[in-house]
Amino acid sequence: MKYGRFNIGIGLLVMAAFMFYGFLLIYLRDFAPDKAAWVASYSIGKHFETRLAHVHGNLFAFLNIGLGFLLLRLGGAADRSRQVVAWLGLTGLLMPLGILGEVYLGLSPVFVLIGALAMTASVIVTGVLTLRHWGDVPGVVA
């Protein structure tokens, strides 16, 4: 299995979803009938958290795309290591989804913490794998 392919595909789809969510936020800020109330709460409460979800959703989607490309290029690394990184990166998407779950469904912030820790771990492990295995694959410049 090519570890990283799903990170790229899911990352692009999640990025598209959070881009559409950004369009919704623009509508609520500029065009909705109660836009004045929305703007008044711009930096507090649920409004602030929805912006955090939008920003982190796109960031974590982009990180998955980057992780995916790196995993595809780190063929010298053990399959198990690349599989762990791939799953940690995808699990990291729980962070922005967890923020939305808190805002709209009243869910526990545990998903935010799990996602944040998973994404941080995926970046750390990918950094170590890159330092150890970059150039192990023919055609990759060290």
135: pLDDT strictly greater than 80 = no
pLDDT of residue 1: 55
DSSP per-residue letters across the chain = --TTHHHHHHHHHHHHHHHHHHHHHHHHHHTSTTHHHHHHTTTSHHHHHHHHHHHHHHHHHHHHHHHHHHHHH-TTS-HHHHHHHHHHHHHTTHHHHHHHHHHHH---THHHHHHHHHHHHHHHHHHHHHHHHTT-STT---
Among 25-29, 38-42, 122-126, 134-138, the range scoring the smallest mean pLDDT is 134-138
**CA–CA distance, 63 with 94 (Å, rounded to integer):** 13
85: pLDDT strictly greater than 80 = yes
Q: Report if pTM > 0.85.
A: yes
pLDDT of residue 137: 60
Fold of 5-133: Four Helix Bundle (Hemerythrin (Met), subunit A) (1.20.120)
